[in-house]
Structure 1
Amino acid sequence: MGRQDRGELQMKPIVTGWLGVLALCGAVAMPGLLHAQVAQAAAPAPAASAAPAYTPIPFAPANAAAPRTASAPNAWGGPRTGTEPTLSDRVVDYRIDAALDAAKHAVSGKEQLTWRNRSDREVRSIYVHLYLNAFQNEGSTFFTEREVLTAHSGSRGEAKLEKGQWGWIDLKQVSQNGSALKWSFVHPDGGPKTDQTVARIDLAQPVPAGGTLTLDIDFLSQLPRVVERTGWWGDFNLVAQWFPKIGVLELPGERGATQVRWNVHEFHFNSEFYADFGRFDVTMTVPSDYTVGAVGEQQGAPVTANGKTTYHYVQGDVHDFAWVAAKGYKVLDGSWQGPGSPKVAVRVLYPPEYAASAQPVLKASTDSLSYFSDTLGPYPYRTLTAVVPPYNASEAGGMEYPTFFTAEGYKEVTPGTLSQYAIDFVTIHEFGHGYFYGLLASNEFEEPMLDEGLNEYWDQRMLRARDQGIDLTTPGLRRLGLAPSISGFAMERLTAGLKHPYDPLGENAWDRYSSSSYGTVYARTATAMHDLEERLGKDVTERAFREYYRRWHFRHPSAADLRATLIDVSGDARTVNEVFDQYVYGTARIDDRIASIDSEEVLPPAGSMIVNGKHTDGDSKALDEQVDKQRKDWAKAHPNAKPGTGPFPWHSTVSVVRDGAPVPQTLRVTFADGSHQELRWNDDRRWARFDFTGPAKVVSAELDPRQKIYLDADKLNDSRTTEPDGSASRRWSADFAALVQAFFSLLVSL
């Protein structure tokens, strides 16, 4: 999802934070252990000759983040070769019959969940996500974290819900082979006891190692008014995070796991999702005057009876399912096909007020299919659906699901303007999630950088390949003959929070200083990958990412797996490890600067000298007269000489200072005669001095003259001149003014 700092109305949750609730409830710091203790206490005492007591499977740690150890080669069944009967190793199968009550924005569902136990031990309880319960009251983990994380910074998802606008999911009945099962709410991350986004279902019959479980589940999902990612507005219903969804049972050697564990985090304010690959077979019954779009392929023609229409969609080798039902929507169809991909039916669903956005969204979608297929790997599905939310439901925009995403809408889209860039960027970004979130199936709870960050980087690569920057021109500037613009990577750098990074890029989604700090996952990862690309080379980096996709699509890589792939392909472990240690696992900052430039003429030394074995008398006055004469004679012979040159050589010293992490730098010095010299500063010194002796003095010095190091927190101190030069400040002032004007123009358009 493209998280932007745009808030609506803040609300004050009843609970001031989950830490306070934990303190009041006396919760322990290891929820998996707490669950084990409760389960063991409830079990009858074993007989003396009984088998060893059953040990419940623990949760992934509540503070889980990017692993440092690469996954085992056979993790998730090993790399997919393309010769298997299915694209992914399907662990789950969902068959869901759903009916939308349009007046109430509620979905009643019957779900048959089939799940395969990949582990070497029996499973007596499973865990399911009930994501919509994040929106049922202010006691959820989502709302309690929202209070803390948005206290000092804006964010998406700050809308205030009123009476009749809350959302939830109720489990009506769960059965296994006809036996009714019991469930209870658990808190794997130690969240508030009032959170109900994760439920434990105790089974009537355990699932043996390698065995299969089938559950029949009746549920009711009440959609909230759009707060973030899902919900309704008017006659628009984005039905997402709407069904009971089983957690992931990870095995040793997978994403840092050292034992079998349940990865099933609560629904946090900033986090998104993580699930096993499988197959979805879903029917949706809606009022006949509603338009429907969904993940996957429609099966046959819709069936209409009694004012209701039933649609049937199926998609294999995905890990989520979402759909939209909206009244008054229009449809724009297109198609695409590329090498190694099936023919793809591309569809845009849009409201009449945003008709101008339909064609640009379609074009950006097909362009994205080409770019991502060419640079990472062929798109493997037969459909792609983009949905433009209506006015007043923008928080439903910028969201991604396999083969299905929501874009943004504009009443006018003028080619070459900020509106064109905005609609292109959001469309490309949400499509790109289909690779980094969808096909690579990163854990967005624990490693948001692998999806949001890497996707942002690859989006900007695509925009760079299109030579598409951000046009900051406004009508007023155009009348003045000014047409300022900025590249996408330069804009990422400006919003990356480089001066004071609070959290490592590899931190999980919820242990963040603020929502703004979480937001830098996008721009700071894109900037870090940009700089890594500059050091490894564009072609090498692209080959490495293509190999990363080849190894890990339809699996679940970690940051450590990305690092290992980059090293394997580039052969440059030092550079890759340096970037990962400093930025993925650390909070390093870069700020190299030119501290000073000092120059002086190298004159004949004053004082006594030995000439022909005898000391001279050291006549300083005579020496001064000699120097003056040489200068006058030289000036006559060189009437157009530039200041800083002359009959005597010059000695110049350039001092550089490093206020952050080391990075290989190029120092470019310019001399008074117009000549230049470049040298490398590639060591761990906190400061260094570089000396130059020649016919002209140094008049300016600049670090990173080709502007390759975007992670440098302050580029304005990268250069220095010996004489005042106002051109730089005038240029930055003009660019800043243009940016401000463009920003306010964008606000008006929104």
Structure 2
Amino acid sequence: MALSVAIGSGTATAQAVAPAAATSAPASSSTAALADIPLAAADAAAPSVPSAAGAWGGERTGQEATLSDRVVSYQIDAELDAAKHAVSGKERMTWRNRSDRPVARVYFHLYLNAFQNEASTWFTERNVLTAHGRSRGAAALKKGEWGWIDLRQVRQGESSLKWRFVHPDGGPAADQTVVCIDLAEPVAAGATLTLDIDFLSQLPRVVERTGWFGDFNLVGQWFPKIGVLELPGERGASVPRWNAHEFHFNSEFYADFGQYDVRLTVPSDYAVGAVGEQQGAPQTANGKTTYHFMQGDVHDFAWVAARGYKTLDGHWQGPGSPKVALKVLYPAEYAGSAPGQLKASTDSLDYFSKTLGAYPYRTLTVVVPPYNANEAGGMEYPTFFTTEGYTKVEAGTISQFASDFVTIHEFGHGYFYGILASNEFEEPMLDEGMNQYWDDRMLRERGEPLTLASGWTKRLGITPAATGFELDRLGAGLRQPPDPLGENAWDRLSSSSYGTVYSRTSTAMHDLEERLGTPVLERAMHEYYRRWRFRHPSSADLRATLIDVSGNAKAVNQIFDQYVYGTQHVDDRVSSIDTDEVLPQAGSSMKDGKRAEVVASDLDKQIDRQREAWAKAHPGAKPGSGPFPWRSTVTVRRDGAPVPQLLRVTFADGSSEDVQWNDDRRWARFVFTRPAKVASATLDPQQKVYLDANKLNDSLSTKADGAASRRWSADAASLLQVFYALVGSL
């Protein structure tokens, strides 16, 4: 995904602009008299209070009739005009009012309107963000390449309804990505609403996430989609509220679980892939083919239609999961990467089902966009995702790592965005960040680092490599993070700051795993999945689960307070090493009731004799040892937030001693009196504290050695370039 900043954050009041062409009489007076249900605030972000136990219908036990508490259903008949890249659709949406009060108006997302002109919230934010950091989605649309959704008619029973565009986040008046529809009759508490909607979706030329290029059509966020009515005790809500934010440059999506029943008609020479299971054989007539897909217990539906595409099939089954039919759809130029993407997908099914919980669906469709449609790659939907294509994938090279990583990452969204269904508008950390962390763990278990290997580097013997966690640390912006990880997707200093949602979350969770221990962390994540699958957890719910399972509230709260809800940083360093030989001292002292005086000149001769005798007795002794003990003082400094640290002190005779520094002091001194003096001191010798912004000052030696600094700096420079290129593709 891309990167974000606050643009005109306003109140949560919906601001109406000129209504779209609508039909029928105004809403009834009884509807108008009902109190409005407010919209989520424009600055909504990660809540700090856990959700109620009964949120979203309570924990799913597996004994219910359906996997999720289905709130909405969509029946859609759609036809692709391949020449115009336009989809005409008829949608019947049925929605259940879960609240305790009647609902007089509903809010829908019209996501494609973000691409209808440069006055939308999406384009307005992009113009600022691309000037302040790296970003994907930077393509310029030309004449005939814009995209939109036109509502042609909305009916409630026999009544045609009016609608108007609103701006929940105070975005530009021209933005039309959220529409408010006034109902002819309110929906009573616990009752259902059925709307019949005729619409036309014009796909944009691929600029980000969705659209067309040539004969390729990725159809995502293409239909009118109802917002989420959150109830008290759900994600920090204290009263019922509509959660329906504008489509921001960096934000993604949030929707209720439900049932999708979709018929897609396309030219007969086009290949089709979609969310869910295909129902029966396609029906062909007059050069057109209709495909029927159904999927329950998901919260979105996307599809692809492309001419000249090929298919690679596979199957997978794991404990507790149904048999899964896999399909990779790819263009001929990327045939070389399809087998690897199929393998990465099956490996991901193995890993995620083992470490989080069973994969509950029967299909998984992987789409490789064609050359020149890269921005359609790296996008996720339930049971369906897009990855990146490569003409040639060589084992042990950047091409293999990149292909595997993007495929694993987009599959992982099927858990964190799909099954756990976090709010990507307000808490991108729960999806992008937690997914990135789990992907890095999978790559670690696979033993698959990024190797900057090529023919000439191998000949020179230069093959720097880094694990996923090391790459994320390089790009995490640890020195001066401007935004908390728990901030929403659009209130960000820059696109680069948004990008750290991926890398800084992964780094923070890496360090939390080190503090809790891997077995404990894994049990906690299993429990998080069990409690919150098919619901909508918040960051506070994740924190509560981690505390409940680990019993270590201090460690968990430290990470969440400092990084999820705060902007602290870590930078501990070894400040100095001072060593003194503990020699006999001249002067007067009382011994056995008599005062005696040691003369300095006599003492010097005595010390010399002792040194000579010791040297003869220890001919191979290392410098820094001798007949007299040494007092060494190691001073450590803390220039950021406190973090548990291990200090390893190595002495001149080769021995070492470990000391724990686990308090809130800004500095500390550790004194050692040993036969040998301190030769070096190192904080975090096992390299567990990835959040430390500067690892080069973690150690100090009494003898200067710049080799480590030169090596870390050179590797960091080269790997960082690759990291940014990779993150930009997600």
TM-score by length of 2: 0.96
Q: In 1, distance between residues paired with 2:431 and 2:611?
A: 66
- Is contact 1:473-1:738 (8 Å) kept? no
1:598 and 2:543 equivalent?
A: no
Q: In 1, distance between residues paired with 2:184 and 2:704?
A: 81
Partner of 1:308: 288
Q: In 1, distance between residues paired with 2:3 and 2:447?
A: 24
Question: 2:165 corresponds to which letter in structure 1?
Answer: F
Residue 518 of structure 1, CA deviation: 0.3
Q: In 2, distance between residues paired with 1:653 and 1:606?
A: 23
Partner of 2:176, secondary structure, is: coil
Residue 731 of structure 1, CA deviation: 2.7
- Is contact 1:651-1:694 (8 Å) kept? yes
Partner of 1:175, secondary structure, is: strand
- Pick one of 251, 255, 258 that aligns with 1:278: 258
Question: 1:523 corresponds to which letter in structure 2?
Answer: S
Partner of 2:346: 366
Q: In 2, distance between residues paired with 1:410 and 1:86?
A: 39
Q: In 1, distance between residues paired with 2:14 and 2:82?
A: 40
1:483 and 2:466 equivalent?
A: no
Partner of 2:40: 60
- Pick one of 511, 521, 535 that aligns with 2:491: 511
**Structure 1 pair 732/44, CA: closer, same or farther in 2 (3 Å)?**
closer
Question: 2:477 corresponds to which letter in structure 1?
Answer: G
1:149 and 2:136 equivalent?
A: no
Bigger mean CA offset, 301-310 vs 607-616: 607-616
Partner of 2:614: 634
Question: 1:701 corresponds to which letter in structure 2?
Answer: A
1:29 and 2:29 equivalent?
A: no
Q: In 1, distance between residues paired with 2:210 and 2:724?
A: 28
- Is contact 2:348-2:411 (8 Å) kept? yes
> Counterparts of 1:600-749 in structure 2 under 5 Å?
600-732=580-712, 735-736=715-716, 739=719
- Is contact 1:294-1:385 (8 Å) kept? yes
- Deviation per CA, 1:298-350: give whole Å up to 9, x if none: 11111111111111101010000000001110000000011111110000000
Q: In 1, distance between residues paired with 2:716 and 2:486?
A: 32
Q: In 2, distance between residues paired with 1:741 and 1:184?
A: 46
Partner of 1:508, secondary structure, is: coil
- Is contact 1:477-1:738 (8 Å) kept? no
**Structure 1 pair 54/359, CA: closer, same or farther in 2 (3 Å)?**
same
Partner of 1:319: 299
Question: 2:11 corresponds to which letter in structure 1?
Answer: A
Residue 732 of structure 1, CA deviation: 2.5
Partner of 1:428: 408
Residue 738 of structure 1, CA deviation: 5.6
Partner of 1:70: 50
Partner of 1:424, secondary structure, is: helix
**Structure 1 pair 746/544, CA: closer, same or farther in 2 (3 Å)?**
closer
Residue 84 of structure 1, CA deviation: 0.8
Question: 2:261 corresponds to which letter in structure 1?
Answer: D
- Is contact 2:3-2:498 (8 Å) kept? no
**Structure 1 pair 218/582, CA: closer, same or farther in 2 (3 Å)?**
same
- Deviation per CA, 1:583-620: give whole Å up to 9, x if none: 10001100000000000100112222223433334411
Q: In 2, distance between residues paired with 1:559 and 1:360?
A: 34
Aligned length: 721
Q: In 1, distance between residues paired with 2:111 and 2:462?
A: 49
Q: In 2, distance between residues paired with 1:527 and 1:682?
A: 20
Partner of 2:587, secondary structure, is: coil
Residue 34 of structure 1, CA deviation: 9.0
Q: In 1, distance between residues paired with 2:723 and 2:232?
A: 49
- Pick one of 68, 76, 81 that aligns with 1:96: 76
Q: In 1, distance between residues paired with 2:252 and 2:715?
A: 36
Partner of 2:164: 184
1:256 and 2:239 equivalent?
A: no
**Structure 1 pair 740/203, CA: closer, same or farther in 2 (3 Å)?**
closer
**Structure 1 pair 192/737, CA: closer, same or farther in 2 (3 Å)?**
closer
1:459 and 2:432 equivalent?
A: no
Question: 1:371 corresponds to which letter in structure 2?
Answer: Y
Partner of 1:310, secondary structure, is: strand
Partner of 2:588, secondary structure, is: coil
Residue 746 of structure 1, CA deviation: 9.1
Residue 726 of structure 1, CA deviation: 3.2
**Structure 1 pair 533/167, CA: closer, same or farther in 2 (3 Å)?**
same
- Pick one of 169, 185, 210 that aligns with 1:205: 185
- Deviation per CA, 1:370-394: give whole Å up to 9, x if none: 1111111110100000000000000
**Structure 1 pair 497/552, CA: closer, same or farther in 2 (3 Å)?**
same
- Is contact 2:3-2:249 (8 Å) kept? no
- Is contact 2:334-2:389 (8 Å) kept? yes
- Pick one of 507, 517, 541 that aligns with 2:521: 541
Q: In 2, distance between residues paired with 1:52 and 1:243?
A: 27
- Is contact 2:429-2:485 (8 Å) kept? yes
Residue 150 of structure 1, CA deviation: 1.9
- Is contact 2:16-2:164 (8 Å) kept? no
Query: Which of structures 1 and 2 has the larger relative contact order (alpha carbons within 8 angstroms, sep 6+)?
Result: 2
Residue 352 of structure 1, CA deviation: 0.4
**Structure 1 pair 605/371, CA: closer, same or farther in 2 (3 Å)?**
same
Q: In 2, distance between residues paired with 1:296 and 1:160?
A: 33
Partner of 1:498: 478
Bigger mean CA offset, 481-490 vs 626-635: 481-490
- Is contact 2:262-2:294 (8 Å) kept? yes
Residue 621 of structure 1, CA deviation: 1.1
Q: In 2, distance between residues paired with 1:595 and 1:685?
A: 14
Q: In 2, distance between residues paired with 1:217 and 1:292?
A: 24
Question: 1:299 corresponds to which letter in structure 2?
Answer: Q
Partner of 2:247: 267
Point out where structure 2 has 5 or more consecutive residues left out of the alignment. Answer: 18-25
Q: In 1, distance between residues paired with 2:397 and 2:240?
A: 52
**Structure 1 pair 448/724, CA: closer, same or farther in 2 (3 Å)?**
same
Partner of 1:389: 369
Residue 33 of structure 1, CA deviation: 9.4
Q: In 2, distance between residues paired with 1:575 and 1:743?
A: 29
Residue 4 of structure 1, CA deviation: 8.7
Partner of 1:398: 378
Question: 1:31 corresponds to which letter in structure 2?
Answer: T
Q: In 2, distance between residues paired with 1:461 and 1:579?
A: 19
Q: In 2, distance between residues paired with 1:475 and 1:440?
A: 43
Question: 1:479 corresponds to which letter in structure 2?
Answer: R
**Structure 1 pair 45/79, CA: closer, same or farther in 2 (3 Å)?**
closer
**Structure 1 pair 667/194, CA: closer, same or farther in 2 (3 Å)?**
same
Residue 740 of structure 1, CA deviation: 7.5
- Pick one of 94, 106, 109 that aligns with 1:114: 94
- Is contact 2:55-2:233 (8 Å) kept? yes
Partner of 1:678, secondary structure, is: strand
- Is contact 2:651-2:680 (8 Å) kept? yes
- Deviation per CA, 1:435-470: give whole Å up to 9, x if none: 000000000000000000000000111111111111
For the aligned residue pairs, the C-alpha RMSD in angstroms reads 2.2
Partner of 2:172, secondary structure, is: coil
1:127 and 2:107 equivalent?
A: yes
Partner of 1:99, secondary structure, is: strand
- Is contact 2:335-2:391 (8 Å) kept? yes
- Is contact 1:589-1:661 (8 Å) kept? yes
**Structure 1 pair 465/257, CA: closer, same or farther in 2 (3 Å)?**
same
Residue 637 of structure 1, CA deviation: 1.6
Q: In 1, distance between residues paired with 2:463 and 2:576?
A: 35
Partner of 2:215: 235
